[in-house]
A and B are shown apart, each in its own frame.
Chain A
Amino acid sequence: MPALAVLTAVSILPFIFLVAVSLTSFDLARPTTWTDFSAPFAGYRRVLHDTRFANSLVVQAQLSIATVTLQLGLGLVGALLLNVRTRFVTVLRILFLIPMVLPPIVGAIIWKVLLAPEISPVNWLLGVVHLPQPAWLAHPRLALAAIVVADVWQWFPFPMLSVLAALQMIPLELYDAARVDGASSPRIFRHIVLPFIQPTLYVVALFRIIDSVKAFPLIYVLTQGGPGTATEATNYYAYLQGFSFGFIGYSSTMALIMLVMTFVLSTVVVRGLGRAVEVE
């Protein structure tokens, strides 16, 4: 089957290649170093003492935790809000699709337009109600918050629409039966709604965790990793080392470490998912 051959070629070969390159000291400025295997673990030793790498992991963790939590929270509230069975909801569903189908670079540009001091309508609105107008992208904590907001904006419709789809599968009789038995709304949520949407929540969380390392366009457009290294997530730092500084070998080492970390994390989440589904 030709497709299978292509598959192997395009997915396994790059991985093998990546492992090999991570063992070299390949530097674009010195082209002959690409076969320099003289110190195969130099990159790995270096990464252990690289405080900028450690910082990038912290930034990535903050970014992932904040965005995934907020997206699931907002998504859940939004889904409960929209859970009415009328035709009107169909239209709303389509409208809520818009942020997540936009090219990520456009999402990033939109937030640059909204937050760049010289042109920001957000700051103008804040000025109108006499609130301070901070330079969002120049302050370390605010810059990270801005990236979180932009990422949440682009992706909260994903959990929202997924959960909404699950909610609309719940048979209406279940609600009626619970009401007749005198169950309160929180109890209905806890015992009827939650079990129905839990698998969806897990799947969506898994995908958002995996994709949360892909906030590259946001960082590239909004902050370039700055101010300082305040928003320099690991994927961005590895990109800088490889394609701005030319240290392809070192960049590959970091990419491989990230790959292993994502894999381990996803496996843990999938296991959790399996258990949660079994419990039911």
Chain B
Amino acid sequence: MRLSSAVRGSRRKAGLASIGRLLLTGGFLSFALGPVVWLVQMSLKTEAEAFRMPPQLLFAPSVRNYVELMRGPFLGAILNSFKASTLTTVLCLALGIPAAYALARAQLRRERAIRVWILSSRMAPPIAFALPFYLAFRALGLIDTVLGLSVVYLTFNLSLVIWLTQVFFEGLPRSLEEAAYVDGASTWQAFVRVTLPLAVPGVLTAGIFSFLIAWNDFFFALILTRARAQTAPVAIMGYESFLGWEWGKIAAGSTLVMAPSLLFALFVRKYLISGLTSGALKD
């Protein structure tokens, strides 16, 4: 009898603890997501509605901000963002995958060197990269070009791509390639026909990472582009002027810019943390 009431008591305690836990988790979650939700709902409101406090929770969503945004130069900026991010990704994969494969198969103990290199390129304050690139691009006529921007992004992403794909190649058994050699395949053929198809998940992950990093950048695009090659993150800030902020358009533009980031991040969520800490000097 006493035992059962004790059990019930501890159950109630556990129940209270889990309610507290639930509330606290809810608090964390609203802190993380509330601001994002607020921005998205604002992009669907008219200027007058956006300024109204208390905010209306029920309102007729309007896409007017988006339509107006698309009539302006913003569409071109989004295209520039796509071009720069895609070019970066293509360059990184084209240069990085053969390098990663060679490193994985030659069994050179270069891991430490790559880690140090990733870390040091990440350690450098952005301005330390921006200045030399700005000067070099001025001399080469690459200021305000998509190509120039992609070259800068290549600096950060190439090491990351090599790191991420090398791990995948190392996980693939050598025997498959050896079987291909026996059948008379060249090194290149064995790589393209046998190894590469198996490494598709790794290549995709690395590709998405380099696309995301290029897509999310603001600092380098701000310094290295003007009107012609301006990317979307910089173009949003064009709706801030001495007349004030055009809140509706800024909210709509931000929502459009973050959509691909959210989508792509979902695909690589398993590797996101390891990608963000790649090069960490552990083990």
Contacts and interface: CB of A to CB of B under 8 A. Distances in A.
Interface of A: 1-4, 6-7, 10-11, 13-15, 17-18, 21, 34, 74, 78, 81-82, 92-99, 101-106, 109-114, 116, 118-119, 121, 124, 128, 153, 156-158, 161-162, 165, 199, 203-204, 206-207, 210-211, 213-214, 216-217, 220-221, 234-235, 238-239, 242-243, 248, 251-252, 254-256, 258-259, 262-263, 266, 270, 273-274, 277
Interface stretch (B8-16, B117-125, B169-177, B179-187): B117-125
Contacts of A97: 265, 269, 272
Contact of A258 (B122, B125, B151, B262): B125
Nearest to B35: A110
30 contacts: A2-B95, A2-B99, A3-B99, A11-B121, A13-B132, A14-B136, A15-B128, A17-B135, A18-B128, A98-B36, A99-B32, A103-B218, A105-B216, A105-B254, A106-B257, A109-B236, A109-B250, A119-B50, A119-B247, A153-B31, A153-B35, A158-B273, A213-B125, A214-B125, A217-B219, A220-B218, A242-B127, A258-B125, A262-B124, A277-B282
A20 B188 CA distance: 42
Of the listed residues A11, A106, A162, the one surrounded by the most CB atoms of chain B closer than 10 A to its CB is: A106
Contacts of A106: 39, 233, 254, 257-258
Q: Which 6 A-B pairs have the closest CB atoms?
A: A3-B99, A101-B265, A14-B132, A17-B132, A103-B216, A255-B128
Interface stretch (B60-68, B69-77, B153-161, B197-205): B153-161
B133 interface: yes
B132 A214 contact: no
B237 A165 contact: no
Of the listed residues A14, A199, A255, the one surrounded by the most CB atoms of chain B closer than 10 A to its CB is: A14
**Binding site secondary structure of chain B:** helix
Contacts, number: 221
B131 A124 contact: no
Given A118-B51, A213-B125, A266 B272 contact: no
Contact of B122 (A118, A210, A255): A210
Given A259-B124, A262-B124, A248 B154 contact: no
Contacts of B33: 95, 98-99
Interface string B1-39: 000000000000000000001001100110111011011
Given A95-B33, A110-B39, A243-B223, A116 B245 contact: yes
Given A103-B257, A124-B53, A153-B35, A235 B131 contact: no
A104 B218 contact: yes
B96 interface: yes
Nearest to A209: B123
A26 B213 CA distance: 31
B195 interface: no
Nearest to B51: A119
A3 B32 contact: no
A94 B272 CA distance: 11
A97 B151 CA distance: 28
Given A3-B95, A103-B257, A98 B136 contact: no
B218 A98 contact: no
Contact of B36 (A102, A216, A266): A102
